[in-house]
Amino acid sequence: QVQRALLALTIPLEMLQAVKGRMLQDMCKGLSRQTHAQANMRMLPTYICSTPDGTEKGDLLVVELCQTHVRTLWMTLLGDGNRSPQATNKIFDMPGDIMKGTGEALFDFIAQCVRQFLAGISRPQHRLPLGFVFPFSCRQTQLDKAELISWSKGFSCSDVEGKDVVQLLQSAINKQELSHVDVVALMNDTVGTMMTCSTVEKPCEVALVIGEQRPFRVTGWWVLGGCLLQCSPPLLPTDKGTNSCFMAEAQQVEMVEETSGRMCVNTEWGCFGDDGSLSDIMTPYDQRVDQESSNPGQKRFEKLVGSLYLGEIVRHVLTSLAAEKALFVGSSVTVLGTKGVLKTQQVLEIIDNEEGMAKARKALEDVGLRPSERDCCRVQQICRVVVSRAAALCAAGLAAILSHMCQSRGLEQLVVNVAVDGELFRGHTRFGEILQSVTGLLAPECMATFLPSVDGTGRGAAMVTAVALRLAAHRREVDQLLAPLRLSRADLERVQALMRREMDLGLGRESHANASVRMLPTYVRGTPDGTERGEFLALDLGGTNFRVLVVRVAQDGIRMASEIYVIPTAVMQGTGEALFDHIIECIMDFQLKQDLMEQVLPLGFTFSFPCQQLGLDKAVLLSWTKGFSASGCVGQDVVQLLREAAQRKQHLALKVVAVVNDTVGTMMSCGYDDPKCEIGLIVGTGTNACYMEEMQNVGTVEGEQGRMCINMEWGAFGDNGCLDDIFTDFDRLVDEKTINAGKQRFEKLISGMYLGEIVRHILLALVEKQLLFCGKPCPKLQTKDIFKTKFLSTIEIDGLALRQVRAILQDLELQASFEDSVLVREVCQTVSLRAAHLCAAGLAAVVEKMRENRGLARLAVTVGVDGTLYKMHPHFSQHLQQMLQDLAPNCTVTFLQSEDGSGKGAALVAAVACRGAEP
């Protein structure tokens, strides 16, 4: 019979796995917005988003409301890694009637405790932040805003449920003329425990509390974990339940808007199983414990694990076995019918290996039983199995938390510190040992180190308060620094209007010379109509790569072959002759490889620099951009330069028929698939756009009929100073270090060549202001271009575990904390969002002009887009499109990504030209 009871109380490993799985499910249910309301485990957000980093500094006050008393604590942090915080505390007994009186009386009492406590500490009256430990379930919406959901633990004060308890406390404190005391944080006791154990070297990200937390056992000064505490004598009973909390990925906490970083979640796991999901492991003994409790049917997990109930479970097992005559034969067992005769403390003593038997005998004799040696032995076995079961279930719960953390962080292995508190951990190694080993079995991918809490919640509450202050100050400074990069809707409308003005200036015959947007005619008068045919050579110069291509345009589509050639920086920035000689050599190499030496194919030349075009095959270079500076080219016809180089190289079979800007190429190649495509956009190394303008508006070219594609050269927008007020110090720093300082100012806010640099300068400023990397100097970050624009793409991917951000930063020899990573991501987001929005403002000016040109109420148009930044960045295109729709609501704009627009487009322009040339 005893064996049967023991067996019933033993949970096999597979069942524990199942319990873990159910706990995981319930956690997700509590975290999800849709199912949160029905969840047993409430997974309450705490708005605590960070653990201490050791820079916390200043005087702090904590008030802790406990079952029978109020504790006040003063702590001074020195910003020295929290190594030697000074603390002093005082405990006030609470009159019994307060728990059931009015809410006002309760909060007045707490405020009076604060006043009395402060009266005993003579300090100047500067602003004093206060952290409030309030161990009841609250619906928290900010760190300092929390509505009480419902009272428990014997409290039932009127007029508090549904109210903001921070507000209630603050009002009561103000009534005591303590208005310099500022309630800045409210927290649950479990969270306090997690924070208490957290140190700079060992941040704790999980806390378990099982049973009574009881820090104060001695009078006088006590050094706890480097923290000097003045302690008061009484042994204070506190909560006997169980709970846990952990740092969840903010993104998973759907009840909260925040999506970056982490937030501590209070699981309220005591309620796990209230929907019956633990019924298959509940024994008849547990059923009886539950029925006799003050809240039958509720807190099922707590009743299996919590220390309030272990003694009771054992009592019911003994009662039952005695009734079956398997125990205490011959002695009266009526005493076992009394609730609470067996204390959890006694159970814990009985399981001790050495003194357990003696303790068992004493405990049983104390209640009037006359146990035999065998009875004592069996009672010990029963106590052990009950404690082991509690530890194993607790392990299943912890394993669920750890696996959840590991998974949501995208880790293969999680290394984590777990703060533990409560009487089951103190001195009773058996519980701790089982917890640890079973957790290891159930979550083998996680390595947890258990740190026993040394000061309950008080110190942790002070830490939370300190961290909250640090974060608030930090946030203010970061916001201040980033504010100039955050453009308002009104700013963007202004940019749009300015772009429109510059466009008009650029098109006008007289005003053209003064416009920063040059609006260059391209002599491309139409997009492809699908009848183009033939075989063409194409060159693509002006991007990251120089390429030579052969393009075959046939009825069944376009086929291409291409080769990438490197243009060494020395050639880019050497003489024009050397540059064009190099280009011809590459063409010859390509023709050799493709076996095209014998043919004279028409060649389209994608040349992506601003040119004054005088015809389709005549283009005078106006200025170099994007890192090119070859001498003797500006002011020359690049087709001529190419032809001269061909002569020098004796390459006589070259027939250049068209010079094409890459924007035009992009528009043409997309136009081949979509006739609505009348805009080309590039967001790659640089940025630029072109579109189909009415000939009558093009003052710089003769003729009024039809349309012509205009290469806007919008990268230079703002070079006349019209955007000066949106440039930030960071933009100026970036601009100064370029080879074309003062030029291409719009481009330098948007394109791939510069975004990484902007981010780098912001990061340097943040370090300088001690807001990042603890202010440690970062020599590598001083290097120009070390922060690549492609990092922005990686860093900003949604849901990407921040360890990837850390890995990128690590490569730059930057030691990033979790919060550093969050901040770096925010900087990247700010910079890329601004770029996308500015691009949208520019495009809005274009589409609105086209709509007006055509006298339409609505315009439907397609934009052909190319450029790695546009294509690879996870949010750029979406942000661009959303803002464009917002700024130009009367236009329906579709975006079509071009595939190799530069190559294909050049060939198509050549084809369109040849089509025109042939009769």
**Nearer Cβ to ligand ADP (491/563):** 563
CA angle (34 as vertex; 29, 40 as ends), nearest 5: 35
State the helix-helix crossing angle for 373-408 and 429-442, rounded to 10 degrees. 40
Site for Mg ion in 676-735 (CB under 5 A): 684
Measured torsion, CA atoms of residues 31, 36, 42, 47, in degrees rounded to the nearest 10: 60
Q: How many CB atoms lie within 10 A of CB 320?
A: 18
Q: How many CB atoms lie within 10 A of CB 848?
A: 19
Site for Mg ion in 533-572 (CB under 5 A): 543
Question: Least CB distance from residue 866 to Mg ion, whole Å?
Answer: 6
Instruction: Give, in order, the Cα–Cα distances in Å from 685 to each of 739, 753, 793, 884.
Output: 15, 5, 14, 22
Q: Which does 789 bind (CB under 5 to 8 A by kind): Mg ion, ligand ADP, none?
A: ligand ADP
Question: Least CB distance from residue 150 to ligand ADP, whole Å?
Answer: 51
Among 868, 881, 882, 885, binds ligand ADP (CB under 6 A): 868
Site for ligand ADP in 792-831 (CB under 6 A): 793
Applying CB under 6 A, which part among 287-295, 572-580, 715-723, 861-869 lies near ligand ADP? Answer: 861-869
543 binds ligand ADP (CB under 6 A): yes
Question: Least CB distance from residue 525 to Mg ion, whole Å?
Answer: 24
* Number of residues in contact with ligand ADP under rule CB under 6 A: 14
* Number of residues in contact with Mg ion under rule CB under 5 A: 2
Site for ligand ADP in 500-519 (CB under 6 A): none
Contact code string over 778-797 relative to ligand ADP, x by CB under 6 A = -----------xx--x----
CB 54 within 8 A of CB 80: yes
H helical segments located in 198-327: 284-292, 300-305, 307-323
Look up tokens 């033993």; give the residue: 10
Cα–Cα distance measured from residue 450 to residue 437, given in angstroms and rounded to the nearest whole number: 12
Question: Least CB distance from residue 271 to ligand ADP, whole Å?
Answer: 46
User: If you write DSSP's letter for every residue of 501-530 in order, what string do you get?
Assistant: HHHHHHHSTTGGGG-SS--EE--------S
Q: Is 608 a catalytic residue?
A: yes
Measured torsion, CA atoms of residues 116, 121, 124, 125, in degrees rounded to the nearest 10: -20
Q: What is the largest CA-CA distance in the chain?
A: 123
Q: Is 858 a catalytic residue?
A: no
Catalytic residue among 389, 470, 547, 851: 547
Which tokens is 313 given? 């479970």
Catalytic residue among 239, 274, 662, 731: 662
Which tokens is 791 given? 């990092």
Residues 6 or more apart whose Cβ sits within 8 Å of residue 699: 507, 508, 509, 510, 512
**Nearer Cβ to ligand ADP (602/867):** 867
666 binds ligand ADP (CB under 6 A): no
Q: What's phi and psi for 226, nearest 5 deg?
A: 80, 5
Question: Least CB distance from residue 752 to Mg ion, whole Å?
Answer: 10
901 binds Mg ion (CB under 5 A): no
**Nearer Cβ to Mg ion (671/684):** 684
Radius of gyration of the chain (CA): 37
Q: Is 71 a catalytic residue?
A: no
869 binds ligand ADP (CB under 6 A): yes
CB 395 within 8 A of CB 16: yes
Q: Which does 872 bind (CB under 5 to 8 A by kind): ligand ADP, Mg ion, none?
A: ligand ADP
881 binds ligand ADP (CB under 6 A): no
25 binds ligand ADP (CB under 6 A): no
Question: Least CB distance from residue 261 to ligand ADP, whole Å?
Answer: 23
Q: Which does 753 bind (CB under 5 to 8 A by kind): Mg ion, ligand ADP, none?
A: ligand ADP
Q: Which does 869 bind (CB under 5 to 8 A by kind): ligand ADP, Mg ion, none?
A: ligand ADP
Residue with smallest beta-carbon separation from Mg ion: 543
Q: Which does 192 bind (CB under 5 to 8 A by kind): ligand ADP, Mg ion, none?
A: none
User: If you write DSSP's letter for every residue of 10-34 in order, what string do you get?
Assistant: ---HHHHHHHHHHHHHHHHHHHSTT
Query: What is the contact surface with ligand ADP in residues (CB under 6 A)?
Result: 543-544, 684-685, 752-753, 789-790, 793, 867-869, 872-873
Q: Which residues bind Mg ion (CB under 5 A)?
A: 543, 684
Q: Which residues are catalytic?
A: 547, 608, 662
